[in-house]
Amino acid sequence: MFKTVLFPVDASRESREAADVVANIVKTYNSRLVILSVVETKTESTMSSEAEVAKLLEGAKALFVQQGIEAEVIEREGVPSFTICDVADEIDASLIVMGSRGLGLTEEKVSESVANRVINLSPCPVLVVP
């Protein structure tokens, strides 16, 4: 059912909690797992250095490898919501699983959240983990 699962990650708690859901789905459906991290081009964010992103991706990959799950990693630069959807299209993802809130999101900006934009732009179903 879910041939390829895209898991966009950042250093947020919600992203870490979504990893358990991703592992369950990938094991259940014997899916290909692609972990994506996006370095924002426009804003100063905590995900701004390539070293931080590489460390995050390797940590995420190691988490899945410990569970016997092979994972590919992709690092891109751009606007997160658009880049996530572009990569989903490129890899022919059948599901995107992501945390509900990334870094730096305040209550008044919920309607502008990356997850909200991905839901509206995605070429495939999106599972948002609270």
Q: Residue 106: CB partners within 8 Å, gap ≥ 6?
A: none
User: Domain map of the chain by residue range?
Assistant: 4-129
> What amino acid occupies position 51?
A
State the pairing for strand pair 71-78/32-40.
parallel
State the Cα–Cα distance between residues 108 and 38, nearest whole angstrom. 23
CATH number of 4-129: 3.40.50.620
pTM: 0.88
**80 half-sphere exposure, CB direction, 13 A CA radius:** 25
Residue 18 clears pLDDT 70, i.e. is over it: yes
Tens digit of pLDDT for each residue in 50-93?
A: 778 888 899 999 999 999 999 999 999 999 999 999 999 999 99
